[in-house]
Structure 1
Amino acid sequence: MYRRKKLSENFINKFVELCAGKVSATQIDKFISETDKLLLDFYFTETSEANLLRLIQSQFDLSFFISDLLSYPHHLEVIISVSVHSNYLTDILVRNPEYFYWVVNPEILRFKPDEKYFNEVVKKSTDIFKSFDSKVNALKNVKKKEILRIGLRDFYRYDDLVAVTTELSQLASAISSKLFSLCYEEILNKYKIGKTNRKYCVIALGKLGAQELNYSSDIDLICFYDKNALINKKYYYNEIINETIKLFIETSTQITSNGYLYRIDFRLRPDGRNSPLANSISEYIRYYETRSEDWERQMLIKTGFLSGSKSLYKKFFDFKERIVFSSSANVTPFVQIKKLKQSIEQRAADEDNIKLSSGGIRDIEFSVQALQLVNGKKYPQVRAASTLNAMLALNKHKIITDKETLFLINTYKLYRRIEHYLQLMNDRQTHSIPENGELLEKIAFYLGYKNSSEFKSELNKIRKQVTEFYKSVMQSEEESAQQVSINFKDKLRARNNIEFLRTGKSLLGTKQFDSRTTEAFEKISKQLNDYLSKSSDPDLVLENLARIIKTVPLPKIWYDEFSDEKFFRLFLMMCEFSQKSVNKFFEDNFIKDDLLSRTCFDNLDEENFSIISLPQLHFRVCIQLLNKNINAQDSSTIISRYHFHKIQSIINKEKLSEHIGSNYFIAGLGSFGSEEMNFSSDIDLIFVVKELNKHNNVQKIFQTLLNKMKNEIKGTEIDCRLRPEGKSSYLVWDIDEYKKYVSNRARVWELQALTKCRFIEGEKKLFDELLQFFIRRVKNLDDKILKSEIIQMRTKLISTDETGFHIKRSKGGITDLDFIISYFMLKNISEMKKLIGSSVPDKLQKLSAVMDDKDAESIKQNYLFLKMIEVTIQNIFDFRTAKLPIDKLQLQKLSLQLGFESQEDFIRHFNEITLSNIRLFRKYIGE
């Protein structure tokens, strides 16, 4: 659309028609002639003319308005400037014509506001209203009015870029802060909460955080609170804050007849869309320390306070300064910047996108941020959130030259002015320069170019220079990255861990290690790097190594021990393949000595059982499994016998015979009874007494005994749930009542449980007496009922909600084999009565006498394989339950530990085993 240097006949006719009877002919002629003179200074088009006509039509008193425009030439200039440069500002004046006389006031137009001014305006505008909706409407009016003033000052160049973006940011901060407070009060009132001593903080990120906001920017925010707590004994504080944020987003973004406030975005919070809108500050700090991506920490360069507790903000800001600008030990963090930029450019297919395309605003910002991240530790000044301030600080410290600084500042200001012009035109978040047309011509004219061709040609030259600068900054980073062969997922965390291991320096302090300790680390660093370069999970290895060294009093002693390459390799394997060992390391200080002295490799027998704790036992079993000193079945036997020894020792100390004589016995059931315990197995006990009614306080005596067991063997659940009638019955049973129960009421699963019954202490004859009743009952079992109840139990164990394969409970798992074994025991009790309470391998050996030899061998091998998987999963990942991992990395680690060359080989063999178990169950028990 071509430029007009005079008003069109169409406009003049409509204008005359509007003024008829209201404005004199002389004033009409003068308005037209004065307007035509001014049009020479603008790129005036048909759209501009339409805007001008709308502005005139919207006036309450046209005669007064025209007279005013002729009396005060700058009023006419303002209205033409708005009609040319901004459809958005035109709409504001059309809807609110009263703003015109406010904004053309020279005191207003030339006034330079500050943060205090915006806060006062917002407060005054909302204080006069009572309802929430009225206050929100008042905020919208404040925004429109102030945007009109800022936009006009921008057009007239009364403000430079810094002043414009600062005012836009201060306006947005004042409005958004007030709105958040209103929403918070609204939610508190909703739940009738007066005051609370809990605190929250809202932090601005991106352009608002750096006080660089555009006219139509989204506002990126995160929110956290001091800690969660129950308010008024009814509502948790996190619920109140999350509901506040939802109301805040809805209110700010909702478009009404009076417009909207700001587009609010909380998606940059830790864990993104799938996480709560707010969390505690400790959770956020933990996230950024452990799980955040490089770009998330880079993003924290631009943070600023918005609302809430300033003390909470300071705590987060101080943390941010440490984690973002920590020292870099191995590699620079900017490989991520390059990947992020490439991803952005792929999404920004529009080459004319002044922000995202190559050589655009993002290249300048990323270059500056890269230099900030490299130099921020040494020079605190370069940490500035503002891009322009950061450029000046980088120049001051001679990181970029005077020439580069001048070019970057001028280019950045040009790009942002173009961006502002595009957004002010239609209040749209756009960064794309049109290929041709009216808007392109207007931008070129506004910026002082002869035409759009000259403008675009100059812009292309500038972009090339920006691209060259970006490449020069990133070149050294790329060379550094090429030297790194360790595939860390979290490079920043890895660098921090290596820095600590070398010098003792953490994010929160100075170097703690002396030169001898550092030298000792250097001696083992090559072997460490070699291991990490081949590791499937180098991040975890390094994290666990650093975690352990942080707890030992003299790291040099450990580094010296690690000069034993075989020992150091085992230690690193523990860090990678035995999370249970690592976690146990912190439960008992003697474990450190066990490892350093290598006593953790000693035989585990009764002599050792009496002097080591349960964490020590678990640690030694884990290490010996890792080192292939023992197998899964050995580990089950050791863990079971350790508990047997401990329980027997506690019973003997209690001297029960002094209270109830010898007419009692204590027995173990389940995995404890048959020596099948793993790291997370429970212990099931039964307490049986002869002539129970003759003993006073017998229930209390055994309850005290049970409590002592629980207190002295912490870490293992001990209970009596498998007694007759379960939890609802007495703790101690009379032998005669127990025999009646076994003879008449015991279900098949209870009979199966008794096949794993082992005598612990008391009168052995009494125990044998119970077993005789058990055997008598089993002999009369109907085979169909036996199979039917086993199938029912199997169905109950396999939950339909179960996700992933459970090594024990899923079809084809260990329980299927247990059912087959117990079925044959119950079915052939006369031949197998000696195996009651014996270990599974002993039972498996006997099975060949009562079933097909080939099937018996398959059950044995399948059982041992699944037990090895169960124990290995618990060892590697420190899981209580044993589910087959779904995660690829976890599955890879499991496959390696089990001796398979690949995950595929393991899964193939695993499937063969489980299908074999299902077929065996179907063959001997049924469906």
Structure 2
Amino acid sequence: MRIAAREVHLHAPFESVAADISHLADAMIEGALRASTEYLSPRFSPLVTDETPSMEVTFCVLAMGKLGGQELNFSSDIDLLFIYSASGHTPEDSPQSATTEEYYRKLCELMIRLLSERTAEGHVFRVDTRLRPFGKSGPLACSLGSAVDYYSTYGRAWERQALIKARPCAGDFQLGELLLEQLRPFFYPRYFDDATLEDIRSVKRQMENVIASKSQADREVKLGRGGIRDIEFTVQMLQMLHGGRWQEIRTPNTLEALRALGQRQRIQPFDAVTLERNYIFLRGIEHRLQIQGGRQTHMLPEPGPELDTLAHRLGYINGDSFMNVYRERTSETRAILEQFLATRGDGNLWVIELLEPESACADGLKKLASLGFRDPGRAREELLLLANGPDDAPYTRETAQQFSAVTPFLLEALGQTPDPDGALLRFSQILGRLPVPATLYNLLKYHRNLSSYLIALVSNSDYLSEMLLRDISLLDLIGTPGHIDMPSRREDLEQILSDLEAAADPAPALYRLRDGEVLKVALREILLGIPVTAVGDELSRLAEVILARSLSRARARTTERYGTTSAAFAIVALGKFGGRELGYGSDLDLVFVHEDEETARFDISTSPTEYFASIASQVIKSLKEPTRYGLLYDVDARLRPDGNKGALAIPAQRFRQYYREEAYFWEKFALMKVRAVAGDADFAARIEAEARHLAFSMRLERSGLEELETMRAKLAAAAPHLDLKRREGGIAEIEFATRLLQLRHAGEHPDLERGGVFGALELLCEKSLLPEPEYSILREGYVFFRRLLNRSRMMRGCASSCLPDTPGIAARLAQSLGIEGSLPEQIESYTASIHQVYLRIYNALRDETASSCKKESL
């Protein structure tokens, strides 16, 4: 009554009146929430989350519609959305047990009854909850995660508009703001397409058809032509078009949004003023209609005494004079709306024509040609297939619309590739195997960066593309804006793994971590051009995290079966893993070492040899055994002391003795790349230091050199011509030359005791132990070959050190790396130069050792 008196007798401004009514509603909702919570509290203790039992579940009521915009009228329904923070349950000491869904259904039903149930004193507010996810068929309250999933996957055009008006009004406001923040890209997208705009126009047309069918368009203040909803529709459409770029436009209040749009010149200033004036005019009429009748109505009376009475209360002489003004104002509003109903999205109307099978689409074909497609007609056929599906299993209209929405930036990303036609064909072939392509289209629609990621993968790697399409949810791991900009730290990977293990199905956690991180590293290489050293370092860090978790699980299972021991355990890596130089699909060279029996306590039911062999074998099995998720890594444990004939896990003393007294020169040579990668930190570091000392302290003798050269020559003789690792002048010769120089000079330069090739080459050059020209040849050749192998493995999904001999694939490989000229000629040039450098280094060291032998014999 107070608020109504302020409007009728004191002529309070519309905004003030609407805000007062909305504040009253907020207070009533908060009161209903508190009363309902108190009523349920004797039976249910505060709920806790399933994931973290020490954390309580929180709850928020969001206002939608007019209440969300603080524009409530005297007889409005209140549109509410209920959310809770996470799935959970009552604690064990609760008088009654309930899940979050059960408890909040009771709470919401009680709130709704308190607010809307008619009593002798009337009711407080009618409550409408149909704007919730899945509408009337959905739960009254949903979790934050399920709400985000719903809108991201199923959200429709009208739901974008509804969320523009949302704001927290009771309960945990931070939770409500968090929901809106996570959904902001959905209802305020940075770019808008014509298909989505057409969806919004379609909703508007349906509403108008309903009103027109009832012959009410001229008297319906809210839904009629030029009425309140036309103004709100215009403002909300402009907010959706521009809110992704300008924060000040993001407000649930219609008049605030209108003024911000005017200031940003997204609407003509005169039109903004006109719409503001007409909105206040129409809302004033709505208020008087509802005060006068005491009911929810938006319909003007028929000409006659009732219309005259309304006109007098609004300050007009009679009904005719009022209706003249009303028609003038609604015509102004409608004319402005009509301008924006013709608005296009981001210039992509050509896409709709391109995807319409019956259209000639001349503009669309020209656009494809301008993007670099050599055969626009064939490209269009592939686009039609992606949009509509095959003739024998056509997609739904919704799927076609979703593809239309993502087509512009998919084509833009394809146009950036070396071969747009080929990339589109591979994209089409891969997506053709998806049972529900709409899921991917919808995901790409709201995460534009994923389009460029996906096209980059499709253009460069069938293997990685198929890995991604086996599990589309991997996009969640790589799709966050800025995610690929920085390398993952170890703690980042460990946190991702913990989150994956906490999922409903933790079994694929290690595989999903591996796949997601390999995809990220590949995208960093393709899109950001990170060097091969960074690729090796990041893939090695990933392997360390996976290996550590595999070891932890193996130790736990072995302890459970055999008992406990204080004996320390370590895993050391050799080869590429030892040098932090892993590539895509590289295997892991591992050696397992445990503390000696004499220095540890064993409370186990088996021998120490069997105990640690069990741990080692479980680690190897968990990494290399094929599963339905694939396999993690191939593991090679043959470089351990005594090879396949020796124990799988070696006692520390035997490890030292073997390399001191029995190992061949080439075995110590391989030990130069030793690095501790998992296990008990102090013990592992000690084993690494001792192994490195054993490797770098060996004498460089002629017999060892010749043994090594014989091995290299056999490898080169047996290697195919395109084997970049083993062939003459290949990667193996670069590594051999580098390690020979390290071995020769490590006595005077201890900092040369390192496993990585790049670091060793740089130090050798800095210390003038390797001439600058030879350093350049070895380093540039190593980079060139490693880039080729990485991209070849990425492209084909195999760990072969041989390049493909198919001309088409070889050309695609060179093109993807931006290599100009003849690839075979460049390979021959590098191998010839590298082989000369290797021979010079080998012969110099052989002659030096021969001279030393003569002096000793004298």
Question: Normalized against structure 1, the TM-score is what?
Answer: 0.48
Please say if residues 379 and 421 of structure 2, whose CA atoms lie closer than 8 Å, have aligned partners that are also in contact.
no
- With over 3 angstroms needed to count, the CA separation of the structure-2 counterparts of 1:119 and 1:101, relative to structure 1, is closer
The CA deviation at 1:416 is: 0.9
Report matched runs for 1:488-567 at 5 Å. 526=857
Aligned residue for 2:573?
Answer: 204
Please say if residues 93 and 100 of structure 1, whose CA atoms lie closer than 8 Å, have aligned partners that are also in contact.
yes
Matched, 1:82 2:457: yes
Q: Identify which of 675, 678, 689 aligns with 1:307.
A: 678
Aligned residue for 1:663?
Answer: none
Matched, 1:234 2:605: yes
The CA deviation at 1:112 is: 2.0
Aligned residue for 2:835?
Answer: 467
Give the Cα separation in 1 of the matches to 2:420 and 2:678. 43
Letter of the 1:87 partner, please give it: D
Aligned residue for 1:458?
Answer: 826
The CA deviation at 1:88 is: 1.8
Give the Cα separation in 1 of the matches to 2:645 and 2:508. 32
Give the Cα separation in 2 of the matches to 1:70 and 1:245. 46
- With over 3 angstroms needed to count, the CA separation of the structure-2 counterparts of 1:47 and 1:112, relative to structure 1, is closer
Give the Cα separation in 2 of the matches to 1:252 and 1:67. 34
Q: Partner of 1:260: helix, strand, or coil?
A: coil
Q: Identify which of 668, 693, 700 aligns with 1:297.
A: 668
Give the Cα separation in 1 of the matches to 2:712 and 2:457. 36
Q: Partner of 1:159: helix, strand, or coil?
A: coil
Matched, 1:394 2:769: no
Aligned residue for 1:509?
Answer: none
Please say if residues 399 and 437 of structure 2, whose CA atoms lie closer than 8 Å, have aligned partners that are also in contact.
no
Report matched runs for 1:42-441 at 5 Å. 42-44=418-420, 49-55=425-431, 58=434, 62=438, 65-66=440-441, 69=444, 74-126=449-501, 137-191=508-562, 193=563, 195-228=564-597, 231-232=602-603, 234-326=605-697, 328=699, 331=702, 333-348=704-719, 350-441=720-811
Give the Cα separation in 1 of the matches to 2:728 and 2:529. 31
The CA deviation at 1:327 is: 6.4
- With over 3 angstroms needed to count, the CA separation of the structure-2 counterparts of 1:122 and 1:387, relative to structure 1, is same
Report matched runs for 1:9-28 at 5 Å. 10-18=381-389, 19-23=395-399, 28=404
Please say if residues 414 and 424 of structure 2, whose CA atoms lie closer than 8 Å, have aligned partners that are also in contact.
no
Matched, 1:477 2:845: yes
Report matched runs for 1:554-703 at 5 Å. none
Query: Percent identity among equivalent residues?
Result: 19
Q: Deviations over 1:510-533 (max 9, x none)?
A: xxxxxxxxxxxx9xx75xx8xxxx
The CA deviation at 1:318 is: 2.9
Please say if residues 593 and 650 of structure 2, whose CA atoms lie closer than 8 Å, have aligned partners that are also in contact.
yes
The CA deviation at 1:266 is: 0.8
Q: Partner of 1:113: helix, strand, or coil?
A: coil
Give the Cα separation in 1 of the matches to 2:501 and 2:676. 22
- With over 3 angstroms needed to count, the CA separation of the structure-2 counterparts of 1:25 and 1:238, relative to structure 1, is closer
Give the Cα separation in 1 of the matches to 2:373 and 2:628. 33
Letter of the 2:636 partner, please give it: D
Letter of the 2:707 partner, please give it: Q
Q: Deviations over 1:148-194 (max 9, x none)?
A: 11111111135221211111000001101210221121122123x1x
Q: Deviations over 1:465-504 (max 9, x none)?
A: 1111111111112324555889xxxxxxxxxxxxxxxxxx
The CA deviation at 1:319 is: 2.3
Give the Cα separation in 2 of the matches to 1:404 and 1:433. 25
The CA deviation at 1:280 is: 0.8
The CA deviation at 1:213 is: 0.7
The CA deviation at 1:226 is: 1.1
Q: Partner of 2:508: helix, strand, or coil?
A: helix
Q: Deviations over 1:764-787 (max 9, x none)?
A: xxxxxxxxxxxxxxxxxxxxxxxx
Give the Cα separation in 2 of the matches to 1:474 and 1:323. 22
Give the Cα separation in 1 of the matches to 2:483 and 2:842. 46
The CA deviation at 1:241 is: 0.7
Please say if residues 203 and 303 of structure 1, whose CA atoms lie closer than 8 Å, have aligned partners that are also in contact.
yes
Q: Partner of 1:108: helix, strand, or coil?
A: coil
Letter of the 1:96 partner, please give it: D
- With over 3 angstroms needed to count, the CA separation of the structure-2 counterparts of 1:226 and 1:135, relative to structure 1, is farther
Letter of the 1:224 partner, please give it: V
Give the Cα separation in 1 of the matches to 2:584 and 2:403. 37
- With over 3 angstroms needed to count, the CA separation of the structure-2 counterparts of 1:30 and 1:271, relative to structure 1, is closer
The CA deviation at 1:252 is: 1.3
Letter of the 1:457 partner, please give it: E
Please say if residues 417 and 423 of structure 2, whose CA atoms lie closer than 8 Å, have aligned partners that are also in contact.
no
Letter of the 1:466 partner, please give it: I
The CA deviation at 1:386 is: 0.7
Count of residue pairs the alignment pairs up: 479
Report matched runs for 1:761-910 at 5 Å. none
Please say if residues 570 and 592 of structure 2, whose CA atoms lie closer than 8 Å, have aligned partners that are also in contact.
yes
The CA deviation at 1:3 is: 9.7
Question: Normalized against structure 2, the TM-score is what?
Answer: 0.52
Q: Deviations over 1:60-115 (max 9, x none)?
A: 572x7546646765433222211121122111221111222442322212132222
Which structure 1 residue ranges, 5 or more long, are not aligned? 487-521, 530-927
- With over 3 angstroms needed to count, the CA separation of the structure-2 counterparts of 1:226 and 1:409, relative to structure 1, is same
Please say if residues 729 and 833 of structure 2, whose CA atoms lie closer than 8 Å, have aligned partners that are also in contact.
yes
Give the Cα separation in 2 of the matches to 1:440 and 1:265. 29
Please say if residues 109 and 153 of structure 1, whose CA atoms lie closer than 8 Å, have aligned partners that are also in contact.
yes
The CA deviation at 1:233 is: 5.9
| Structure 1 range deviating more: 271-280 or 419-428 | 419-428
Letter of the 1:412 partner, please give it: Y
Q: Partner of 1:106: helix, strand, or coil?
A: coil
Aligned residue for 2:34?
Answer: none
Please say if residues 136 and 179 of structure 1, whose CA atoms lie closer than 8 Å, have aligned partners that are also in contact.
no
- With over 3 angstroms needed to count, the CA separation of the structure-2 counterparts of 1:3 and 1:262, relative to structure 1, is farther
Give the Cα separation in 1 of the matches to 2:539 and 2:830. 27
Please say if residues 387 and 400 of structure 2, whose CA atoms lie closer than 8 Å, have aligned partners that are also in contact.
no
Give the Cα separation in 1 of the matches to 2:626 and 2:424. 26
Please say if residues 59 and 65 of structure 1, whose CA atoms lie closer than 8 Å, have aligned partners that are also in contact.
no
Q: Which has the larger radius of gyration?
A: 1
Please say if residues 59 and 97 of structure 1, whose CA atoms lie closer than 8 Å, have aligned partners that are also in contact.
no
Q: Deviations over 1:428-475 (max 9, x none)?
A: 111111233332111111222345xx1221221111111111111111
Aligned residue for 1:571?
Answer: none
Q: Partner of 2:472: helix, strand, or coil?
A: coil
Letter of the 1:190 partner, please give it: R
Please say if residues 209 and 304 of structure 1, whose CA atoms lie closer than 8 Å, have aligned partners that are also in contact.
yes
Give the Cα separation in 2 of the matches to 1:196 and 1:148. 39
Give the Cα separation in 1 of the matches to 2:633 and 2:373. 34
- With over 3 angstroms needed to count, the CA separation of the structure-2 counterparts of 1:477 and 1:48, relative to structure 1, is farther
Give the Cα separation in 1 of the matches to 2:627 and 2:402. 42
Please say if residues 410 and 455 of structure 2, whose CA atoms lie closer than 8 Å, have aligned partners that are also in contact.
no
Give the Cα separation in 2 of the matches to 1:393 and 1:215. 27
Which structure 2 residue ranges, 5 or more long, are not aligned? 1-371, 390-394
Q: Identify which of 805, 817, 842 aligns with 1:447.
A: 817
Give the Cα separation in 2 of the matches to 1:246 and 1:399. 43
Letter of the 1:322 partner, please give it: H
Give the Cα separation in 1 of the matches to 2:497 and 2:522. 19
The CA deviation at 1:120 is: 3.3
Q: Partner of 2:513: helix, strand, or coil?
A: helix
Please say if residues 241 and 278 of structure 1, whose CA atoms lie closer than 8 Å, have aligned partners that are also in contact.
yes
The CA deviation at 1:287 is: 0.6
Q: Partner of 2:824: helix, strand, or coil?
A: helix
